[in-house]
Amino acid sequence: MVQENRPNVLFISFDDLNHYVGFLDRAPNAITPHFNRLAERCTVFERAYCQAPICNPSRASLMSGLRPSTTGVYNNRQPLRFSETGKNCVTLPQYFRQNGYLTTGSGKVY
């Protein structure tokens, strides 16, 4: 078996995490040793913004790469896969799977 030279990807998504973690040095009283250790080994996006102020449209946008105005997902009751655009779009997990990655998920992220 030939070993492929491609990176491992660990995608962690949180609701309402904000910037109160030690490694960002914005909350001096935050004690987050595990996050700090993880951040030392990873790429940290410090200026990542959500597309919508509501969970589901924001997640749909993140997973599809499309804006809510394109996905048609505007509230928490509209799953992306049932929207007209969502039926035909390839989500981030699907893209990874199609390219040979093992994808798993739990919680609210599809």
- Tell me: do 36 and 24 sit in the same domain: yes
Residue for token pair 């799953």:
79
Average pLDDT over residues 57-64: 90
Which sign, positive or negative, has the C-alpha torsion 55, 103, 45, 31?
positive
- Give the total number of structural domains in the chain: 2
Q: How far is the first Cα of the chain from the last one, in angstroms, to the nearest whole number?
A: 31
**Residue 14: count of CB within 10 angstroms of its CB:** 8
Query: Does 34 share its domain with 55?
Result: no
Where in the sequence is the domain holding 66, given as residue range(s)?
50-110
* Res. 37 pLDDT band, cuts 50 70 90: very high
pTM above 0.85, yes or no: no
Residues 56 and 29 in one domain: no
Q: Do 90 and 40 lie in a common domain?
A: no
